[in-house]
A and B are shown apart, each in its own frame.
Chain A
Amino acid sequence: MERLDPRARSDIYGSRINRAPSPLRANSVPYVTIMLGSVLPVLLIADLMPLMPSLGFLMLLAWRMVRPGLLPLWAGAPLGAFDDLVSGQPFGSAILLWSLAMIAIEMIETRFPWRGFWQDWFTASTIGIVYWLVSLLVSGASLTPEMLLVALPQALLSVLLYPIIARLVAGLDRFRLARARKLN
Chain B
Amino acid sequence: MAPPSSRRSGFSKKAQYSLFTGYLLAGAGALLGLGLLALSLWQPSAFAPLRGAATDVVAPAGKVTAATRSGSQGFVASIAGYFSAGTQNAELRREMEIARIRLAEADAVKAENRRLKGLLGLSDGDTKPVAVARLIGSTATSGRRHAYISAGAGDGVQPGMPVVSERGVIGRVLETGRNSARVLLLTDSESVLPVRRAKDNIIAFAEGRGDGLLRIRLVNLGVNPLKVGDLMVTSGAGGYYRPGVAVAVIAKITPDGGIAQLIAEPGATNFVAVEPIAQAAAVEALKAEEQPGGKPAASASATSSPSSAVLETAD
Contact = CB atoms under 8 A, between A and B. Distances in A.
Q: Do A and B bind each other?
A: yes
Contact of A90 (B44, B69, B141, B148): B44
A103 B143 contact: no
Interface in B1-56: 1-4, 6-7, 22-23, 25-30, 32-41, 44, 46-47, 50-51, 54-55
Contact of A86 (B2, B29, B55): B55
B142 interface: yes
Interface string A108-134: 010001111000000000000000000
B39 A92 contact: yes
A14 to B, nearest CB: 23
Contacts of B148: 42
B144 A47 contact: no
A50 B30 contact: no
A114 B1 CA distance: 5
Given A96-B37, A99-B26, A136 B143 contact: yes
B265 A47 contact: yes
Nearest to B135: A45
Most buried by B among A42, A82, A95, A143: A42
B28 to A, nearest CB: 8
A135 B187 contact: no
Most buried by B among A74, A98, A102, A154: A74
Nearest to B186: A47
Nearest to B41: A90
A29 interface: no
A94 interface: yes
B54 A141 contact: no
A39 B58 contact: yes
A160 to B, nearest CB: 15
Nearest to A150: B211
Interface string A54-95: 110000000000001100111011101010111111111111
A80 B212 CA distance: 28
Interface residues of B, number: 65
Interface residues of A, number: 66
Contacts of A72: 22, 25
24 contacts: A43-B62, A43-B136, A45-B266, A50-B141, A51-B140, A68-B3, A72-B22, A76-B30, A77-B29, A78-B29, A88-B141, A88-B146, A89-B144, A91-B36, A91-B37, A91-B46, A96-B30, A96-B37, A97-B33, A140-B144, A143-B143, A146-B210, A146-B211, A150-B212
Interface of A: 39, 41-55, 68-69, 72-74, 76-78, 80, 82, 84-100, 102-103, 106, 109, 113-116, 135-136, 138-144, 146-147, 149-151, 154
Interface of B: 1-4, 6-7, 22-23, 25-30, 32-41, 44, 46-47, 50-51, 54-55, 58, 61-62, 65, 69, 135-148, 185, 187-190, 209-213, 262, 265-267, 300
Interchain residue pairs A-B with the least CB separation, the first 5: A88-B139, A77-B29, A92-B36, A95-B33, A96-B33
